[in-house]
Amino acid sequence: MEGDLPDQPDLFSVQQEDDAEGLEHIPPFVAPVAAAPSAVTRDPVALRIAEAVRDVFGDFGSEHGLSRGEIAQACAAVASADEFDSRFRVFIKLRLLESLHGKSYDQRYVFNPTSGAALLVYERLGEAGGVQEITMLLDRAREGLLNGSLTEEQLAAKIAQARRSLANYTNHLLRLVRTRPIEELLGQRHHHAHTTSLEEAKHLVHAVAEQYPALRSGGTRLIREALRYTGAVHEFHDRLMQQATTRRDFSMLLPEQYLTAALRSSTETLAQVFATTVFDPPHVQITTGQILTAAADHQPPPPRQRLPRPPTQPLGPDPVETARAKAALARQRREATVTLLMAGKDEADVTARLRALPWQAAVKHLVDMLRAAADPAIPLMLDISREVIVDAAGPVTYASPVTVYRIPDSPQDVNDDTEAAPQSPHE
């Protein structure tokens, strides 16, 4: 079951092969300011107590500080009472802990943020080494160049500082690769997993060369040193890869290194890793019951049966013809309405008849006349004047004069009646 299996590293797991105590980077870090070689502790409990003190002040501290008892209670999980007493006196002397008001009789203490910054540096050194500090130095120099906070002399000093630091790291790495046993290289593999210093150096040198041409030679030396460090990293990884291939132990490789090998190496090169590996032949046992179960699970569905067609219904009336008949009936009704209003004349002023009707009927008759005049099948023409007749007391309050003309059926009638046809009073 899943919960019964112990946690085992897989092929891509990143393990820390550094010193078990994790303190090997602290003595070199404090050496420039150490008063004596024995001043640096090698007890991992000391570092855990300092981290616990930092955490309790970060979680529960305030501007009023914490008492000694509160600090001791927070450290009880990582150290005994005697160990805490010993480290507490050291913290007071070195001002990791300071009295709240600066008095010797004070019983409340505050945490010095400088010590907190040192703890962050220790953690970063333990995880990624000091190459990251060089990358940060290059990034800060480029930022200072862009915002104008660094002079030409200061930029030259920072370029030289980064170049010398890279040279020291390159020499150290080459010495490890060429003279030291593989166990020491395993402890350093996390410190050189990413080589971003070359890119940062290129960006800085490109920006400096545009603004300060005199610093171009110093930038060229920085690029040369960054290339030398990148070559040392490749040589470092090549030795790890060679050792991993010899031992068939891929636990010493980082996931990025294994991915790079898989992408850049040929199939034949990758196959050499398993050239001497013995594999058992495949042996599959399938029972009759499993075959029947699989066949039942994957059998095709039964064919679908369509429903019988419904019986043929007798054909009803044609909807198109029905619509046409309805339209013809409506046309006849409208033509009859207009003819009635015209009283059988070829020209009639129907204004008085419309005004005598209730306004709903007058509107309906006017709409019928408009639709009849717009219908090419009905030989009528409608003329509505722009004049407005107002009759506040009548059935139709507002009305315009309306005249209806019947269009002759033949062109001969039109020619005969051209002179006799009266003109519209509104033309």
Contact (Cβ atoms closer than 8 angstroms) between residue 5 and residue 177: no
Does the pLDDT of residue 194 top 70, yes or no? no
Does the pLDDT of residue 32 top 70, yes or no? no
Q: What's the pLDDT band for 255 if we cut at 50, 70, 90?
A: low
DSSP state, 67? E
DSSP state, 68? H
Q: pLDDT value at position 10?
A: 35
Q: pLDDT value at position 410?
A: 56
DSSP SS3 for 215: helix
Question: What is d(CA 118, CA 195) in angstroms, rounded to the nearest whole number?
Answer: 25
Q: pLDDT value at position 9?
A: 37
* Lowest-pLDDT range of 16-25, 322-331, 358-367: 16-25
Q: pLDDT value at position 195?
A: 55
Does the pLDDT of residue 16 top 50, yes or no? no
Mean pLDDT, rounded, for 326-351: 86
Does the pLDDT of residue 239 top 80, yes or no? no
Q: pLDDT value at position 422?
A: 47
Tally the residues of the chain. 427
Give just the sign of the alpha carbon dihedral 153, 158, 163, 165: positive
Nearest CA to 399 among 411, 387, 409?
387
* Lowest-pLDDT range of 48-57, 239-248, 357-366: 239-248
Does the pLDDT of residue 189 top 70, yes or no? no
The topology (CATH level 3) of 26-124 is: Arc Repressor Mutant, subunit A (1.10.10)
Q: pLDDT value at position 286?
A: 81
**333 — phi, psi (to 5°)?**
-65, -45
Instruction: Decide which of 210 and 246 is more confident.
Output: 210
Q: pLDDT value at position 426?
A: 44
Instruction: Decide which of 10 and 92 is more confident.
Output: 92
- pLDDT tens for 118-141 read 777 777 666 656 677 777 778 888
Mean pLDDT, rounded, for 399-422: 65
Mean pLDDT, rounded, for 399-425: 63
* Lowest-pLDDT range of 193-207, 291-305, 348-362: 193-207
Checking DSSP bridges between strand 389-390 and strand 398-399, what pairing results, if any? antiparallel
Mean pLDDT, rounded, for 357-365: 87
Question: What is d(CA 335, CA 329) in angstroms, rounded to the nearest whole number?
Answer: 10
Question: Where are the domains positioned within the chain?
Answer: 26-124, 129-273, 333-410
Mean pLDDT score of the chain: 76
Contact (Cβ atoms closer than 8 angstroms) between residue 373 and residue 337: no
